[in-house]
Chain A
Amino acid sequence: MAILSQTEAQDILKKVISFSTADECDATLNGSLEGNVRSARNSISTAGAVDNVSLAVTSYFGKRSGTATCNQFDEATLRRCVQRAEEIARLAPESPEYMPLLGPQTYLSSPQSFAASTAGITPDYRASQMAASMQYCDQKKLSSAGFLNDQAGFVAKRNSKGLEAYQRTTNLDFSITVRTLDGMGSGYAATDFTDIKNFDAARLTAVAASKASSSVGAKAIEPGKYTVILEPNALVSGSDASLLGALMRSFDARSADEGRSFLSKKGGGNRKGEKLFDERVTIYSDPTNAEVPDLTFSGDGRPQQRTTWIEKGVVKNLYASRYWAEKTGVPSLPGPGGFIMEGGTQSTADLIKGTAKGILVTRLWYIRPVDPQTLLFTGLTRDGTFYIENGAIKFPVKNFRFNESPIIMLNNLEAIGRPVRLAGNLVPPLKIRDFTFTSLSDAV
């Protein structure tokens, strides 16, 4: 029963709200059908499927609130769930940051967030895509490890003030690491889709395989400051922390106002309105974008709309909780799901052609914060690092550890390529000068 229609979902939620005796009641239904297959050494290692729908009810008495959930939807269970939420609320301490529930909202329409093709994925489809990927590596005498995960889901919300929301989503993520049999070369590729019509695991595997073969025989070059071309997998990730992901998650108004963010201003306040990045940097979010459609409402029911976070290098907006927005008198903007970085028309290959000396970075890995004051992060290159000279790749190089801040990085911008979808974002490859590599790694 995972994917309920709008009518089915709202019928359940109406019933829930009708059982409420609290001052306010908020109910959310979440459902998903998820499947995965995993491979290693050119063989399927595990496969699984999960089907789940759950209801969360939050009841309010004054400034006290309580939440309970259930995953059965008969009338008696729904009634018990509401009663339990109310019992917890009565016992809870008053919250000084309580905000009354939102009334009816108007949401944008983003029907392309759901694709029937993705929702219809079968175990055979998963197995055949993975088999094609493994077969490619068998033929090339390479070893692969991959993961394919797909999900179809819905979210429905309703509250006692009349707010009503519903949206369906689908997603497929595929990533593949290909290694040479002697372990001296490694390549990686990843992709994600809302609609799987263009998904081809073998085609993506070929990209990773090419990187694996061409990264054999890496030479050690001195760490230091280099011009780099960071491919999208070096900027965002669906499975690890990332430099641009970390930057976008740090646009919280409260942390900035409290003095504990790189967006805090000396003496108090925040740096909204200041130019902190190269003027070619523009980053926004838009849940209706056809390439990266997203939910048009946030978890607390606020509308998600097109929002510009950085425009021509200037910090345009910070996100804030409803409480903090009201307290400080700023717009109440929820944090974005994915984000879109504007770019140009050049491909990664074009960026390489325009580079006299530099390093092509396929992927960055194990990225961890070092200093929140400057948003300094450390991490390593992985799965294909190459030296560029006179507009062409000359040879593979050993992996580096970096210590760099995305703020400094986006001030040292040389060129921006054409954005591509990755991990629910649209991200261009970036050419950056003076990127700081601090040591070498023997890892392949």
Chain B
Amino acid sequence: MGGTLVDPARLLEPGLDVAQKKRLADVALNAAKSAGASYADVRIGRYLNQSIFTREKQVQNIASGESFGAGVRVIASGSWGFAATNNVSEAGLAQAARLAVAMAKANAKTQKEPVNLAAQQGYGQVSWKTPIKQNAFEVPVAQKAELLLAANAAALANGANFVNSSLFQINEQKYFASTDGSYIDQDVHRIWPTFSVTAIDRASGKFKTRDALSSPMGLGYEYLSPQAADKVAGPSGTGLVGYRNSYDILEDAALAARQAKAKLTATSVLAGKYDLVLDPNHLGLTIHESIGHPLELDRVLGYEANYAGTSFATLEWRKKNIPYGSKNVTIVADKLQPGSLGAVGYDDEGVKTKEWTLIDQGKLVDYEKIRDQAHIVGQKESDGCCYADSWGAVQFQRMPNVSLRPGTAKLSVDDLISKVDKGIYIAGRGSYSIDQQRYNFQFGGQVFYAIEKGKIAGMLDDVAYQANTQEFWNSCAAVCDQSDYRLFGSFFDGKGQPSQVSAVSHGSATSRFNAVNVINTGRKLG
């Protein structure tokens, strides 16, 4: 989040108009070219955020942030250079451009190969805006805080001992210009309401939590106006509700409190092999970690080796035609889905966004790549998934939305569960961990239900599953149809050094995975 703390009213003040930004951008581009750049782009960004934190009956903190500045990226002597400044004036931008060129020339001394940038047409002066219905920043802070406190009250009334709730809102007002001839003005909105409920048994000293089953979304405040049409019934016997494009925080908080209490006496799972039935609100993170990250081409090539790691899905591995998943697994990348966190008109290096297939019926067919990577896999264009989390950070390859296609045959969650003899149903994002090449992962969840002979048979606890990425996706036996399809997302996905965050959605329908290794995570302390 970050930025300078400001009065909430300031977030509604207009920034520079487009004509001013174009004039400043041209100053930076001309200064870069004059200093010897063969390519330059400039991003003038105003990044707004507001976070509201509450616990039980009180507001803990309301922080409104604004960050305004410009970053200039250049290619000179075949190398990248980047410099940023919060001095958004002609002089400030020209100086940043010259510094970026100087850095590029310094870096060129150790460069092994010159940057090979995919050609990109200029779009002229264009704009794009997240199609929101209600700007969350225009909703009074008091109204938003009251909604969180009402959710807390619903949780407390249903047996919670403690509840923390929060609302994150982001607005990126970003202007991109490049020597390719693009001048792109975009207004991007994101929102994430969430909470964590705690239930305590003082006598035994046990405590359990249940987090919200909301999703971070590329929507406005309309996400918090629940619509009946957006609710998807969970499996019979669980009381769970899935949420599509709007979220009922009061309903979920009440259910969370009841489920947190129930977890205190839930059966501790017996370790072993189970067929897993995974809700989209859980499966989204599994897709993120075991497909979204390993198919980032910069990871594949070793550029993230010192931090996030590399990938098992190397270019050589792809040539072996080893199935990534079963025939039920078709994975699509996009930066387009309405309501998704990744949706923008153009990425942060001026490429119009699109949809493309990563895995086709189990077969790896493509990666996630940007302009300076396309040539490595013999392609001529970027996928449009370049992003920087602020004006002061250099843009680089980030994960687009990565989603599992729903099944084409009609299949509801209850129908899917009816065919499972011994299984576990999991909803919600829990503990998650995966190795640096994305082979071995372990995931928990928020709620777990035993499935016995085709029916939900009661709540379980201490559940986590461990699997190998390929084995797991090859065990995918069924995917529910479009009527169950929902987006889950990651609001603060970290990558790079210095670390940057990005937000990305993952769509899926409830899916079945056969014979997955489940461990019991319960321990006793002395």
How far apart are the CA atoms of A393 and B437 in the complex, in Å?
25
How far apart are the CA atoms of A143 and B524 in the complex, in Å?
44
Tally the A-B contacts, defined by beta carbons under 8 Å. 213
Whether A304 is near chain B, meaning CB under 8 Å from some CB there, is no
| 4 closest cross-chain pairs (CB), A and B | A441-B440, A266-B205, A443-B437, A145-B305
Whether B5 is near chain A, meaning CB under 8 Å from some CB there, is yes
Give the interface segment out of B35-43, B104-112, B176-184, B247-255. Answer: B104-112
Contact call B440/A41, Cβ cutoff below 8 A: no
Contact call B439/A38, Cβ cutoff below 8 A: no
Given A41-B112, A88-B7: 8 more A-B contacts, CB < 8 Å: A87-B7, A92-B62, A127-B110, A145-B302, A183-B314, A239-B499, A403-B521, A439-B517
Contact call B162/A134, Cβ cutoff below 8 A: no
Contact call A267/B203, Cβ cutoff below 8 A: yes
Partner of B464, one of A47, A373, A378, A380: A378
Q: Mark A76-108, 1 if CB is under 8 A from B, else 0.
A: 000000001001100011011100000000000
- A422 to chain B minimum Cβ distance, whole angstroms, is 16
Partner of B203, one of A49, A266, A441: A266
How far apart are the CA atoms of A236 and B497 in the complex, in Å?
18
Contact call A266/B439, Cβ cutoff below 8 A: no
User: Which residue on A lies nearest to B307, using beta carbons?
Assistant: A239
Contact call B442/A401, Cβ cutoff below 8 A: yes
A260 with B59: in contact, given A40-B302, A378-B431 (CB under 8 Å)? no
A443 with B440: in contact, given A45-B303, A147-B306 (CB under 8 Å)? yes
Residues in B whose Cβ lies below 8 Å from that of A440: 440
Main secondary structure of the interface of B (DSSP, over half): loop
Residues in A whose Cβ lies below 8 Å from that of B173: none
Main secondary structure of the interface of A (DSSP, over half): strand
Whether B383 is near chain A, meaning CB under 8 Å from some CB there, is no
Contact call A376/B523, Cβ cutoff below 8 A: yes
Contact call A439/B305, Cβ cutoff below 8 A: no
Whether A262 is near chain B, meaning CB under 8 Å from some CB there, is yes
User: Which residue on B lies nearest to A371, using beta carbons?
Assistant: B521
User: Which residue on B lies nearest to A43, using beta carbons?
Assistant: B112
How far apart are the CA atoms of A41 and B7 in the complex, in Å?
45
Question: In this complex, which of A70, A93, A441 has the most chain B Cβ atoms within 10 angstroms of its Cβ?
Answer: A441
Contact call A368/B431, Cβ cutoff below 8 A: yes
User: Which residue on A lies nearest to B200, using beta carbons?
Assistant: A259
Partner of B106, one of A123, A145, A371: A123
Contact call B466/A442, Cβ cutoff below 8 A: no
User: Which residue on A lies nearest to B440, using beta carbons?
Assistant: A441
Contact call A260/B498, Cβ cutoff below 8 A: no
Interface residues in B309-341 (C-beta closer than 8 Å to A): 309-310, 312, 314
Residues in A whose Cβ lies below 8 Å from that of B478: none
- Which B residues are within 8 Å of any A CB, using their own CB? 4-7, 58-59, 62-63, 79-84, 86, 103, 106-107, 109-112, 145, 161-162, 198, 200, 202-207, 209, 301-307, 309-310, 312, 314, 392, 394, 396, 431-440, 442, 444, 462, 464, 466, 468, 497-499, 517, 519, 521-526
Whether A177 is near chain B, meaning CB under 8 Å from some CB there, is yes
How far apart are the CA atoms of A378 and B396 in the complex, in Å?
30
Whether A431 is near chain B, meaning CB under 8 Å from some CB there, is no
How far apart are the CA atoms of A380 and B526 in the complex, in Å?
25
Partner of A40, one of B62, B206, B303, B435: B303
Residues in A whose Cβ lies below 8 Å from that of B310: 179, 183
Contact call A145/B303, Cβ cutoff below 8 A: yes
Residues in B whose Cβ lies below 8 Å from that of A134: 110
Give the interface segment out of A109-117, A284-292, A405-413. Answer: A405-413
How far apart are the CA atoms of A199 and B522 in the complex, in Å?
44
User: Which residue on A lies nearest to B4, using beta carbons?
Assistant: A69
Interface residues in A374-396 (C-beta closer than 8 Å to B): 374, 376, 378-380, 382
How far apart are the CA atoms of A69 and B63 in the complex, in Å?
11
A264 with B207: in contact, given A131-B110, A145-B303 (CB under 8 Å)? yes
A378 with B433: in contact, given A41-B112, A71-B4 (CB under 8 Å)? yes
How far apart are the CA atoms of A366 and B437 in the complex, in Å?
11
A380 with B303: in contact, given A123-B106, A259-B207 (CB under 8 Å)? no
A374 with B464: in contact, given A68-B7, A71-B4, A87-B7 (CB under 8 Å)? no
How far apart are the CA atoms of A373 and B203 in the complex, in Å?
14
Contact call A43/B205, Cβ cutoff below 8 A: no
Whether A169 is near chain B, meaning CB under 8 Å from some CB there, is no
Partner of B498, one of A36, A69, A268: A36
Residues in B whose Cβ lies below 8 Å from that of A369: 431
How far apart are the CA atoms of A56 and B2 in the complex, in Å?
13
Contact call A403/B519, Cβ cutoff below 8 A: yes
- A175 to chain B minimum Cβ distance, whole angstroms, is 6
Q: Mark A406-444, 1 if CB is under 8 A from B, else 0.
A: 011001000000000000000000000000001111111
Contact call A442/B437, Cβ cutoff below 8 A: yes
- B327 to chain A minimum Cβ distance, whole angstroms, is 24
Contact call B84/A50, Cβ cutoff below 8 A: yes
How far apart are the CA atoms of A160 and B85 in the complex, in Å?
33
